[in-house]
Amino acid sequence: MTKATNSTSKAGADTSSGSLRFYGVWLIGIVALIVLPMIFSSGGSLTSFSLIGIAIVFALSYNILLGQTGLLSFGHAVHYGLGGFAACHMMNAVVSHGWPIPLPFIPLFGGLGGLVFAVIIGWVMTKRAGTVFAMISLGIGELVASSSLILRSVFGGESGITTDRTALPKMFGWSFGPQLQVYYLIAFWLVLSAIAMYALTRTPLGRICNAVRDNPERVQFIGYDPHVVRYLAFCFAGFFAGVAGGLAAINFEIANSAYLGAIQSGFVLFSTFIGGTAYFFGPILGAILVTYLQLGLANLTSAWQLYFGIIFIGIVMFSPGGIAGLVMMHRPLVRAGTLWTVIPSYLVAVVPTLALACGVILSIETVARYSGGEPIDLFGIGFKPTSPVTWVAAVVLVIGGAFVARLSWRRIAEAWDRAATVARDRGYLA
């Protein structure tokens, strides 16, 4: 779990080119954020990008808990939701009192909303880590979500509270009515929060968080209280989750109890874990992928939850480092120049693995659509869920695919071992 530290200490060897590359990556990210809406300009893609931006901030904030400090929370959406409500109330207050606060500052108040709750509840919650913390967070999440329906004056019941982002004072002549302007606002806050959260991992607090995650007893021996460290991490995570919630409130112009609920908490857990918790960019990948799948998959298949579950289980079992972990595994090979020895076995594995995946998809869709009789359209080939041909095809693909895929995976493992040995011999640690 200390790969992040390894990789950066290694970068110290060639500082100048390392830092150049480091800033290069950030710059490329920023440029991509600016250019993206110029390439994909439809309303739907702008909405998608905005949602992905919000999800990234949210997932990064969650990773302060899960990846950095080792705290598994099932109630992180509480801060997100409270941030959203704080932002909505603030926007309405700005309008009704005529305060000179333009919209771009609103997410800050969202962050404060998330932070205040974290400060209040965090001390009790972070007394213990591990399973107990997970359970408490689940209970608190339920408690807050249920209470939000009772405290109507603040949370507006189940229909929530609405606001109008265009009614706030203008900034640079932007009304923030068009989605494009909102997208840039979100992108701005995304960059700001990402830099802040990255910087946090570089501070002594960030490092001691990692230590608390890995070995709390030893942290105690060297004179830090793990409880305090966990509490601080919890507060930071709450703040940035609140920022994400504030951005969501601006994007949707509504805050309601769905923000606070278990589904939202599960969503951020999925994103972060699938992306990979050990690297800073893991949650970013995860948030992009999961938001994207959520937007796209739901309209394709009613069983999208099942695909999520399967992907998640697969990641937990076979690649606990997430997608980022898989990507970073190749780093020493790239450096040692042995990656090319692995690629052929990858290519060989593609076909059976795809066949297996198709078989699984076909089986799931057959069961899901059996009663409705809707045809399944898989890569342009139509299948009828009620016809035995489909069942046979699914079974053959699953069994045959699994059999051949296992062989090909074994080949990958062998090729991998060889390449890694060579890389290790050349002095690049895996």
Partner 1 sequence: MRKLTLAIAVIAPMLGHAASAEDTIKIGYIDPLSGGGASVGEGGLKTFQYLADELNAKGGILGHKIEILPLDNKTNPQESLVQAQKAIDAGAHYITQGNGSSVAAALEDFVTKHNTRNPGKEVLYFNYAAVDPSLTNEKCSFWHFRWDASSDIKMEALTNYMKDVPAIKKVYLINQDYSFGQSVRSDARKMLGAKRPDVQIVGDELHPLLKVTDFSPYIAKIKASGADSVVTGNWGQDFALLLKAAADAGLKVNWYTYYAGGAGGPTAIKQTGLDHQVFQITEGFPNSGNQVAMDFEKAFRAKVNLSLWYPRAVNEMRMFKAAAEKANSIDPVKVAAALEDMKFDVLDGGQGFMRKDDHQFFQPIYISSFGKLAANEPFDEENTGWGWHLVSRVDTPQAMVSTTCKMVRP
Partner 2 sequence: MLELVVISTLNGVLFGMLLFLLSSGLTVIFSMMGVLNFAHASFYMLGAFFGFQLTKWIGFWPALVLAPLLVGAIGMAVERYGLRNTHKHGHVAELLLTFGLAFAIEEIVSMIWGKSPLDYRVPALLDFPAFTIFSTNYPAYKIFMLAVSVIIFVALLIVLKRTRVGLIVQAALTHPHMVGHLGHNVGRVFMAVFGVGSALAGLAGVIAGPALVTQSDMAASLGPILFVVIVFGGLGSLPGAFIASLVIGLVQTFAVALDGSLASAFGPLDPSAGPSVLTDIWNVTIAQVAPIVPYVLLVIILIVRPMGLMGTRES
- Would you tell me which residues interact with partner 2 (CB under 8 A)? 70, 72, 124, 127-132, 134-136, 138-140, 142-143, 146-147, 150-154, 262, 266, 269, 273, 303, 305-306, 308-310, 312-313, 316-317, 320, 364, 367-368, 371
Question: Assign residue 40 a region: left if phi > 0, alpha if psi is -120 to 50, beta otherwise?
Answer: beta
Residue 177 binds partner 1, judged by CB under 8 A: yes
Least gap, CB of 276 to partner 2 (angstroms): 13
**Residue 158 touches which member of partner 1, partner 2, none, C-beta under 5-8 Å by kind:** partner 1
CB nearer to partner 1: pick between 39 and 222: 39
Q: Helices marked H in 151-281 — which ranges?
A: 152-155, 179-202, 204-214, 216-221, 226-252, 262-275
**Residue 262 touches which member of partner 1, partner 2, none, C-beta under 5-8 Å by kind:** partner 2
Q: Are strands 381-383 and 376-378 parallel, antiparallel or unpaired?
A: antiparallel
**Residue 169 touches which member of partner 2, partner 1, none, C-beta under 5-8 Å by kind:** none
CB nearer to partner 2: pick between 134 and 211: 134
CB nearer to partner 2: pick between 138 and 327: 138
- The owner of tokens 């080792």 is 70
Least gap, CB of 152 to partner 2 (angstroms): 6
**Residue 424 touches which member of partner 2, partner 1, none, C-beta under 5-8 Å by kind:** none
3-state class (DSSP) for residue 255: strand
Tokens of 375: 């045809």
**Residue 178 touches which member of partner 2, partner 1, none, C-beta under 5-8 Å by kind:** partner 1
Least gap, CB of 9 to partner 2 (angstroms): 24
Q: Are 268 and 62 in contact, with CB atoms under 8 Å apart?
A: yes
CB nearer to partner 2: pick between 227 and 335: 227
**Residue 105 touches which member of partner 1, partner 2, none, C-beta under 5-8 Å by kind:** none
CB nearer to partner 1: pick between 138 and 378: 378
Tokens of 302: 């009613």
Q: For residue 4, how many other CB atoms are within 10 A of its CB?
A: 20
Q: Are 430 and 424 in contact, with CB atoms under 8 Å apart?
A: yes
Tokens of 404: 């051949």
Least gap, CB of 256 to partner 1 (angstroms): 6
Which member of 62, 259, 270, 383 binds partner 1 (CB under 8 A)? 259
Restricted to residues 30-89, the positions that interact with partner 1 (CB under 8 A) are 40, 42-45, 47-48, 51
CB nearer to partner 2: pick between 59 and 129: 129
Q: Are 65 and 237 in contact, with CB atoms under 8 Å apart?
A: yes
Residue 366 binds partner 1, judged by CB under 8 A: no
Residue 374 binds partner 1, judged by CB under 8 A: yes
Handedness of CA 164, 194, 16, 207 (dihedral sign): positive
Which member of 2, 19, 220, 305 binds partner 1 (CB under 8 A)? 305
Q: Which of 266, 242, 283, 316 is nearest to 134 (CA)?
A: 266
Least gap, CB of 201 to partner 1 (angstroms): 30
Q: Which of 117, 54, 125 is nearest to 271 (CA)?
A: 54
Which span (63-71, 123-131, 294-302, 401-409) binds partner 1, by CB under 8 A?
294-302
3-state class (DSSP) for residue 78: helix
Which member of 11, 95, 295, 364 binds partner 1 (CB under 8 A)? 295
Question: Which residue pairs, CB below 8 angstroms and at least 24 apart, start in 224-229?
Answer: 226/129, 227/126, 227/127, 229/69, 229/205
Handedness of CA 124, 128, 130, 135 (dihedral sign): negative
Tokens of 274: 């699938």
Q: Are 278 and 321 in contact, with CB atoms under 8 Å apart?
A: yes
Restricted to residues 318-347, the positions that interact with partner 1 (CB under 8 A) are none
Residue 314 binds partner 1, judged by CB under 8 A: no
Q: Are 292 and 52 in contact, with CB atoms under 8 Å apart?
A: yes
Q: Which of 64, 109, 67, 73 is nearest to 200 (CA)?
A: 64
Length of the chain: 430
Residue 92 binds partner 1, judged by CB under 8 A: no
Residue 148 binds partner 1, judged by CB under 8 A: no
Task: In whole angstroms, give the CA distance from residue 124 to residue 105.
Answer: 31
Residue 150 binds partner 1, judged by CB under 8 A: yes
CB nearer to partner 1: pick between 242 and 332: 242
Contact positions vs partner 1 (CB under 8 A) = 40, 42-45, 47-48, 51, 146, 149-150, 157-160, 162, 164, 166, 177-179, 248, 252-254, 256, 258-259, 263, 292-293, 295-305, 361, 374, 377-380
